[in-house]
Amino acid sequence: MKLKSWIIIVFVSLLPMLSWSQIAHEGELQDRLRIGRHVWKDVSGQIKAEVTYDAAGVVQSFRTWDDRGLLMDDVRMDGKRKREEFPPLDFTYDDDGFGYVLIAAHGNDDGPKARAGERVAVYYEGSLQDGTVFDSNYGGKKPFRFKFQMGEVVPGFDRAVEMLKVGEEGYFWIPASLGYGADVVGTIPPFSDLLFRIKLVDLN
């Protein structure tokens, strides 16, 4: 199921209450993809979230618990959901797990970049690690507009746009710490790393 474009917007009240240093994570990674059962617990040992992936990294189900240990979400993912096949991507990764591949052929060497507080217009597609598309406006008539670096999108999305000149496009791997963190947003499980394709089309 696709979500509306506004699903990218994040307000302070939705940010995880726990810092990343307070969360313990158990689970297997294979080429940066989560596989098998993954569990996140707080400092007291209370389980906060559990996400199960198959051997290919496709999300099967997820559950979350509140601070009292009561089950809040218990979701089994739709096996027929749309998944995209991405081209081979040779990401460059920063130390915090943020990854990027710029498509230089789509850009303009002299094109401007966004400045803090400026309204920007982008086309984008957001997917889970297995290619499940959760939101997209590619092919639409109107780009998504927001104020750059003003807290209107998740930090990783701002960081991706910062790398682009007008007319340029790229793929970006956004780790959960720069995405939605512990929050469940629509069909996005908690602690999800996200893959975005983004094209910066205008500044105004």
Question: pLDDT for 43-87, tens place per residue?
Answer: 999 999 999 999 999 999 999 999 899 999 999 998 777 777 777
How much is the average pLDDT of 26-55? 95
pLDDT for res 5 = 47
pLDDT band for 93, please (50, 70, 90 cuts).
Answer: very high
Q: Distance of alpha carbon 49 from its chain centroid, rounded?
A: 17
Q: Taking 50 as the threshold, does the pLDDT of residue 12 lie above it? A: no
Distances (CA, A) of 97 to 31, 64, 66, 103: 12, 24, 27, 20
Stated as kind and residue range, the H or E segment containing 156 is: helix 155-162
The predicted pLDDT at position 89 comes to: 86
Instruction: Output phi, psi for 7, to 5 deg.
Output: -65, -20
Q: Round to whole Å and give the CA distance between 199 and 63.
A: 33
Q: Does residue 4 have a pLDDT over 80?
A: no
Mean pLDDT, rounded, for 143-161: 96
Flag whether pLDDT at 6 surpasses 50: no
The pLDDT of residue 108: 61
pLDDT one-digit tens code per residue, 104-127 = 655 566 778 999 999 999 999 999
Task: Return the pLDDT at 141.
Answer: 82
